[in-house]
Amino acid sequence: MGSYHGRYPQLDACRGIAVLMMIWFHFFVDLAFLGLPGPDPFSGLLRIFGMLTTISFIGIAGISAHLKAEKTPGMMNQFSTFFKRGGELLLIGMGITIVTWWVMDGEGYVVFGILHLIGTALILTPFLHRLKYAGLILAAALIPIAYSNLLPSGPLWLAWSGICPDDFYSVDYAPLIPWLSVFLIGLSAGRFLFPYGNPRCDLGAPGSFVLSLAHLGRHSLLIYLIHQPVLFLLIISVAKISIG
């Protein structure tokens, strides 16, 4: 499996699939938000689909973090690299927090979403990457903690950890417990699939379809930031045409 400018198209293509999943899921979320008819995105198969989308993004971020760590020798170099990238994502995430708080009148806005989670995980990567496969043990411990009611309720400022008020609601919520476990699993998967930063096996040259998906994957952050306004405009426009 050859790399293109230091990237692996197959991995970018997987991220591209996650982008398409995200757009599809958020289409139904926006229908619900606008009060238009459609299936409930927060229950049943669509809810599972949404969780799989989140898992895909975070897991792939973990695999990519492994590759970056392997190509960045030295603890200090890694700390500088990952702190910069993680900090950028956290700043963008904070911007999303402000915008959604304003748009949603403080109800259900993004307090600690997927960008906050990935940004924090990247800053921690120089330490997490050194856990090697022991990271799977930590991941295995985080999941039952989150889903066995071991976490108490608490103030909103602890929402990043998984501790939040009883009546807390957010349209995008990915706290460290349990979602950091998915990132850790991604790091371990990256270590297995790309030992020392090199692919374990040769999957051959990517075809045009894979390259098209990879193009989406390489621009996933930009698409993440603009897809919701675009979806809103399209849905509202179609709704007005249908009514008119």
Task: From first to last of the 244 residues of the chain, give the pLDDT tens digit.
Answer: 455 556 899 999 999 999 999 999 999 999 998 888 889 998 899 999 999 999 999 999 999 999 999 999 888 999 999 999 999 999 999 999 999 999 888 888 999 999 999 999 999 999 999 988 888 888 888 877 767 667 788 999 999 998 999 889 898 999 999 999 999 999 999 999 999 888 888 777 889 999 999 999 999 999 999 999 999 999 988 887 876 5
Can you say how many angstroms the Cα of residue 34 is from the centroid of all Cα atoms in its chain?
24
How far apart are the C-alpha atoms of 72 and 100, rounded to whole Å? 35
pLDDT at residue 213, as a whole number? 96
Which region holds residue 66: left if phi is over 0, alpha if psi is between -120 and 50, else beta?
alpha
pLDDT at residue 138, as a whole number? 83
Q: What residue has token string 């911007």?
A: 95
How many CA within 13 A on the CB side of residue 211?
A: 8
pLDDT at residue 107, as a whole number? 87
Task: Tell me the pTM.
Answer: 0.91
pLDDT at residue 152, as a whole number? 82
pLDDT at residue 4, as a whole number? 54
Q: What is the SS3 assignment for 128?
A: helix
